[in-house]
């Protein structure tokens, strides 16, 4: 089932850009430009997996809207130009899961959304890609129902690509997400692991190489 994301952002170009990327990532965005309107809508429609809130909004600001979302147990990420420490502290101590300052990288936003949703859901996460079933809770991969053993980093790499289907991810981002920001090796290790995934899971036509950039998994 697609994840449903509430976006409350009064800058239309930013809201549309976020929504477009969420759709590509197989999520369903719902946009409001006014905090008070968004709050009123919750009475009849509050089935969201996560909310992305600006702080400076007409009607009601993001901090006020955060309080309105709490009864519905909707996790919140702030996306705002307010980078002062007091605003960050207010947002995070008030119950937000994350606080991201504009401008931000869309790839980073998608990764943080995935992490917040994963933290807040109790059911196992099952991702389907063609004939593969990737269970991120069990750390298992099945092809046509048969489990295929993968090494730890191979599985982590596959999971990142699968969670962001149809989105190109750079080698440097993959290194940071899978091996960590302190990894001192070469990005060539990504190519080696991609080669193993293609071979073990027959993903030669599914994992696309983006020249001089990275990789994209296509469903």
Query: Which tens digit of pLDDT belongs to each residue from 171-180?
Result: 988 888 888 7
CATH label of the domain that carries residue 168: 1.10.10.10
pLDDT score of 219? 82
**Average pLDDT of span 120-126:** 64
Full-model pTM:
0.62
Q: Is residue 106 predicted with pLDDT exceeding 90? A: no
Between CA 174 and CA 170 the distance in angstroms is 6
- Same domain for 116 and 204, yes or no, is no
**Greatest Cα pair distance in the chain:** 54
Give Rg (Cα) of the chain. Answer: 19
Give dist(CA 64, CA 97) in Å, integer. Answer: 15
Residues 6 or more apart from 163 whose CB is under 8 A from it? 114, 127, 136
Q: Tell me what the mean pLDDT of segment 52-64 comes to.
A: 94
Say if residue 24 is in the same domain as residue 131: no
Residues 14 and 97 in one domain: yes
Domain that holds residue 147: 126-217
pLDDT given for residue 123 in this prediction: 47
> How long is the chain?
219
Cα-flanking dihedrals φ and ψ of residue 150, to 5°? Answer: -125, 150
pLDDT in tens, 67-92: 999 988 899 999 988 888 998 888 88
Total domains in the chain come to 2
Q: Are residues 186 and 211 in the same domain?
A: yes
Contact (CB, 8 A) for 109 and 102: no
With CA atoms as reference, report the closest residue to 52 among 1, 9, 90.
9
Dihedral sign computed on CA atoms, order 145, 148, 151, 154: negative
Q: Do 113 and 182 share a domain, yes or no?
A: no
DSSP label at 202?
Answer: T
Whether residues 144 and 108 share a domain: the answer is no
Beta bridge partners of 31: 7
**Residue after which a domain boundary falls, among 120, 147, 171:** 120
State the average pLDDT for the chain.
90
- Asked if residue 113 and residue 8 are part of one domain, the reply reads yes
Each residue's pLDDT tens digit, 11-39: 999 999 999 999 988 899 999 999 999 99
CA–CA gap between residue 137 and residue 16 (Å, rounded)? 32
């Amino acid at each position: 089932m697609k994840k449903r994301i509430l976006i409350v952002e009064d800058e239309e170009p930013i809201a549309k850009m976020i929504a477009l990327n969420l759709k590509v990532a197989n999520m369903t965005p719902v946009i409001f430009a006014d905090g008070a309107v968004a709050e009123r809508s919750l009475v009849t429609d509050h089935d969201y997996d996560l909310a992305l809130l600006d702080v400076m909004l007409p009607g009601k600001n993001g901090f006020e809207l955060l309080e309105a979302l709490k009864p519905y147990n909707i996790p919140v990420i702030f996306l705002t130009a307010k980078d002062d420490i007091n605003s960050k502290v207010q947002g995070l101590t008030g119950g937000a899961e994350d606080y991201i300052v504009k401008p931000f990288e869309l790839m980073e936003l998608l990764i943080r959304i995935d992490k917040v949703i994963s933290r807040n859901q109790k059911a196992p996460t099952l991702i389907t890609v063609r004939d593969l079933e990737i269970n991120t809770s069990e750390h298992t991969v099945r092809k046509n129902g048969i489990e295929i053993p993968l090494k730890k980093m191979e599985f982590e790499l596959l999971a990142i690509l699968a969670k962001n289907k149809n989105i190109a991810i750079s080698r440097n981002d993959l290194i940071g997400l899978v091996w960590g920001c302190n990894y001192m090796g070469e990005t060539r290790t990504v190519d080696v692991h991609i080669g193993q995934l293609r071979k073990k899971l027959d993903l030669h036509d599914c994992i696309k190489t983006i020249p001089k950039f990275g990789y994209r998994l296509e469903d």
